[in-house]
Amino acid sequence: MHTLTVAEAICEGLREEMERDPRVFLMGEDVGAIGGVFATSRGLLEKFGPDRVRDTPISEAAIVGHAIGAAVAGMRPVVECGGFVDFLALTMDQLVNQAAKLRYMFGGKGAVPIVVRAAQGSGVKLAAQHSQCLEAWFAHVPGLVVVCPSTPADAKGLLLAAIRNPNPVVFLEHKMLYFVKGDVPDGEGLERIGVAARRREGTDVTLVSYRLMAGRCQEAADLLGQRGISCEVLDLRTIRPWDREAVLASVRKTHRCVVVHEAVKSFGVGAEVAATVMEEAFDDLDAPVVRVGAHDVPIPFNETLERETVPTVERIVEAVSRLA
């Protein structure tokens, strides 16, 4: 084991994959000299040169489009579009109409092995256009893979899996987690896409979450434990495909389920998880499945308003308390 931040773990993953596979290259806004907006490619320009660590114009749609074309022609591009997920709004045609559908429309010929990395989330006082969590947009599209890692080990291990995956992967990091440290296995540390991690065992209620909120659920579980409520905490890690079996197995044991995410509650991942639990495990439930998500508003600038817009530990505790 060695200790890295999430940003360092991503950088290590990129470096190792580029060393292992000459088809892998980075492309995006400011990925070179400054090593990426969030310093996730620091030192890679010096190591691999400007051909494989390729700065681009501010042309997000074309960045993803070039990745698609390069991938179809045999490369394994990893791209960044200004760092923030909000800029991926400009790439939706390329992601949704092109990358996600190419193989299907072409009758199974071809593949689009691209990784589109972006940072999500609030907490850094950057207001409405730099703080969103948009995983539900991408998860709604058959043909895309959507990954949301939380720990340094997952960030590296799932990034490796994403780069090796033959499909378009939207890899959504969290800007509040980049500087969080954690153990990373020595060696490759490859993780599997589509497998949840059980962060805590419990018997009374299952908390389903991912990324920043997975940590907040563990904090909530500590407080709830003091009140005698035993929480099982699942970190989905991958949104599409998501680990239905792990969630259903846990709910069959605890008989209660709360889904927590930072994205707005309406029409979100939580609705998908909750509906699936009710469809597949209704008889095992002792209470309705509850969702905790951001309020239905853009992220405000003011620090207090921002903090209160997304789920807090208190809101998670309160939601669980109402169930028990």
Residues acting as catalytic residues:
60, 130
Query: Of 12 and 60, which CB lies nearer to other proteins in the complex structure?
Result: 60
Q: Which is nearer to other proteins, 7 or 61 (CB)?
A: 61
- Which is nearer to other proteins, 67 or 118 (by Cβ)? 67
User: What is the contact surface with other proteins in residues (CB under 8 A)?
Assistant: 25, 51-52, 56-57, 59, 61-75, 77, 93-94, 97-98, 102-111, 113, 142-143, 145, 165-167, 193
Closer to other proteins at the Cβ: 90 or 223?
Answer: 90
CA 27 – CA 125 distance, rounded (Å)? 27
DSSP 158: H
The two tokens of residue 55 are 């700065």
CA atoms within 13 A on the CB side of 280: 16
Per residue in 154-164, is it b (16+ CB within 10 Å) or e — as a string?
A: bbbbbbbbbbb
Nearer to other proteins, 66 or 117 (CB): 66
The first and second tokens of residue 119, run together, are 């940072």
In angstroms, rounded to a whole number, what is the distance separating the alpha carbons of residues 71 and 16?
Answer: 19
Nearest to 310 by CA among 133, 174, 172: 133
Nearest C-alpha neighbor of 163 from the set 113, 213, 123, 223: 113
Amino acid of residue 84: F
Q: Are strands 231-235 and 205-209 parallel, antiparallel or unpaired?
A: parallel
Least distance between other proteins and beta carbon 85 (Å): 19
DSSP-derived secondary structure letter, 299: P
Burial of residue 12, with CB atoms counted within 10 A of its CB: 0-12 exposed, 13-18 middle, 19 or more buried: buried
Residue with tokens 């905790």: 292
Question: What tokens does 272 get?
Answer: 């998908």
* Residue 231: strand pairing partners: 205
Q: Which is nearer to other proteins, 232 or 243 (CB)?
A: 243
Q: Which of 169, 247 has the CB closer to other proteins?
A: 169
Contact, 215 vs 261, CB < 8 A?
no
Residue 207 pairs in a beta bridge with 233, 258
Q: Least CB distance from residue 314 to other proteins, whole Å?
A: 40
